[in-house]
Structure 1
Amino acid sequence: MTKPEALSNMPAKNTIPGFYGRFVHGEQSTLAFWEITAGSVSPQHQHPHEQITYIAEGIFEMEMNGTKYMMQQHDVLVIPPNVPHGGRAVEDCKIIDSFSPPRDDYR
């Protein structure tokens, strides 16, 4: 992407039930903009990407490496590569995730 584009013009992908993401891919990273329906669950998983999560709106219960965190608006969390994590939207959420290296599975 070499010129500005409205996020709302990008198609949303339903990656798992209740998780709708719009993705921007650079050479070294992926930025994900999620809209998540209350009650939706991201099963425990891990990946080789470093992930930085920012809660823009709502409450999300994140479990990382066996510890649960109740994340609220403006909270951030760094998830190192290959660390098990997952979570549940307590309320409708808007979350921004940064991944490095890029998430080719989200292209």
Structure 2
Amino acid sequence: MNTPVALQDIPVRNTVAGHFGRFVHGERSTLAFWEITADSISPMHQHPHEQITYIVSGTFEMELDGIRHLLHPGDTLVIPPNTVHGGKAITDVQIIDSFCPVREDYLYK
């Protein structure tokens, strides 16, 4: 994307129950803007991408390598590649995730 695009103009994808994301893809990375409804579960999973999570609003409990972290607005968490993680939205939450390399499973088709 070499021209500015308003976030609200990016199509929303419901990837997991209660998880609504908008995705911006560069040549080497993906930026995900999530709106997740309270009590929604992000199942435990792993992927080859490095992930950096930033909590914009709300509270999210992230389990990373067997340790639970309660994340609040302004908190960040680095998730190394191939590390098992998942979580639960304690409240409605807005999260920004960066992924490197590109999350091809989040490409619009």
Q: Residue in 2 aligned with 1:96?
A: 96
- What does 1:1-107 correspond to in 2, within 5 Å? 1-107=1-107
Identity of aligned residues (%): 62
Corresponding pairs, count:
107
CA distance in 1, matches of 2:34, 2:44: 17
List, as ranges, runs of 4+ consecutive aligned residues in structure 1 with deviation greater than 2 Å.
none
Match of 2:94, SS state, is strand
Q: Shift of residue 19 of structure 1?
A: 0.1
Deviation for aligned residue 1:21: 0.2
Please give the TM-score of this superposition, normalised by the length of structure 2.
Answer: 0.98
Residues in 2 aligned to 1:15 and 1:86: alpha-carbon distance in whole angstroms: 14
Gaps of 5+ in 2: none
**Structure 1 unaligned blocks of 5 or more:** none
In structure 2, distance between residues paired with 1:101 and 1:10: 20
